[in-house]
Amino acid sequence: MTDKTLYAAIIFVLTYLLITVQKIPGIKLDRPAGVSIGAILMILAQVITLDEAYGFVDLNTLAFLLGMMILIAYLGVSGFFELVASWIVKVSGNTSRMLFLVVFSSGILSALFVNDTICLLFTPIILSACKSIGVNPIPFLIAVATASNIGSAATVTGNPQNMFIGVRSGIPFLTFLLKMLPISLIGLFLNYGLIRLFFNKEINRKSTFTSKIHKPKVNKLLLIKSLSVLFVVFGLFIYGISYPFTALLGGALILLIGVIEPKLAFREVNWTLLLFFAGLFVVMGGVEKSGLSKILFEKTAPFFQLDSWKGMLSISMVTLVLSNLVSNVPAVILFAPHVSSFANPENTWLALAMASTLAGNFTLVGSVANLIVAEIAKEGGITIGFWEYFKVGAPITIITIIIGAFWLLYV
């Protein structure tokens, strides 16, 4: 092990301490700040140069994310998500049907519009609706978090790590969808069943009273324009046009024809996530250049023979552990330089997408989507306990990953 490898290892560990243990006395940090410090340290320690750091930033992934964020921001401003959430509550009639609709709407919309966004926009509406109709919001909030993770596994646009995988692998949109959709659909049904089982006192045939639900404000013209542009964007994805180019094209188009001040939508864009990704690419670039990722990969490679069920389960479980230790996006980026060495790179990418996404359900802090739900709930006076979440999240994670591993092995 060279000095650069040692420095990279120390900085790598320090970076993930900074982004996971954010309550340090006398210091206020968030995830983007923590990973930015790690990126600077990689340069200061001369693991990589400043020019090399620029080169490690994957502009295609950032462009893909930015374009989709602009589109989703316009859709959010139009009132689309509030409209869907209020419709769910109004047509459900009872808590069992309401849970089913929350699970499947969260899952399907997350596949299309990024899971973090769905959690951010759905959670306050579902929380408010539950309070208005007099039902315990916790099972419904857990449903939003877990279903958004499961549903987002189905498409390239479902979450940030899938976007990275889509750009890096070049897997066609429909190929990704056809192989991953069955895993998500089975997972959503299991998710509904487990939540209903564990919260059987709250989830039953008891009628819900929706007279107190407020009608959402909808900008119909903006809604029609936003959905039309999204329809074009997904059409181009299916046709095979580059993901980053198509997303930026869609973003530019809605900026041109939107009927609101662009600054209203730009406020909704998660700029800190783009900064987080940029810093993360630099940190992981240092890990790669120093030889650290190669050493780690060579130690574990014998377990990753994807032509056997043991190999597929091994890579899935390693990804599960890594995703909960260092988060799902870094776990995927860590694997990325070595995927081409596998006998079936496409299946390897799909296994990484499946396991890293579903791993987010394991604990309450397993994904950003979960944390968004928990924080919004806390602001609304509702605390989702770690173990209260874990009793649903852990079994659904293990079951769906095992199902996903066997499905990808034989399709």
> Residue 175: its pLDDT value, please?
95
Neighbouring C-beta atoms of residue 206, cutoff 10 Å: 12
> Residue 272: its pLDDT value, please?
84
Give the pair of three-digit tokens for residue 100.
């089913």
> Residue 282: its pLDDT value, please?
93
Residue with tokens 């806390």: 378
HSE of 163 in the Cβ direction (CA atoms, 13 Å)? 30
Helices (H), ranges, 21-137: 31-44, 50-56, 59-77, 80-92, 95-113, 115-133
Give the pair of three-digit tokens for residue 288.
């790669």
Give the pair of three-digit tokens for residue 40.
């600077």
DSSP state of 24: E
> Residue 21: its pLDDT value, please?
65
Residues 282, 59: contact at Cβ < 8 Å?
no
Each residue's pLDDT, cut to its tens digit, for the chain (411 residues) gives 677 888 888 998 888 777 766 566 666 777 788 889 999 999 999 999 999 999 999 999 999 999 999 999 999 899 888 888 778 877 877 888 889 999 999 999 999 988 888 888 888 888 888 877 778 899 999 999 999 999 999 999 999 899 999 999 999 999 999 999 999 999 999 999 999 999 988 787 666 655 556 677 889 999 999 999 999 999 999 998 999 999 999 999 999 998 888 888 888 888 888 888 899 899 989 988 888 877 777 766 666 665 566 767 778 888 888 887 777 888 888 888 888 877 788 988 999 999 999 999 998 877 878 888 888 888 888 888 888 899 999 999 999 999 999 899 877
Residues 301, 315: contact at Cβ < 8 Å?
no
Q: Which residues pair with 24 in a beta bridge?
A: 27
Helices (H), ranges, 258-385: 262-266, 271-289, 292-300, 309-326, 328-335, 345-358, 368-379
CB neighbours of 125 closer than 8 A, spacing ≥ 6?
Answer: 81, 82, 85, 86
> Residue 91: its pLDDT value, please?
81
Residues 268, 81: contact at Cβ < 8 Å?
no
> Residue 382: its pLDDT value, please?
87
Q: How far apart are CA 98 and CA 80, in angstroms?
A: 19
| Nearest residue to 339 via CA among 376, 281, 297, 380 | 297
Positive or negative: CA dihedral 227, 229, 232, 234: negative
| Nearest residue to 223 via CA among 270, 191, 258 | 258
Residue with tokens 């609706």: 129
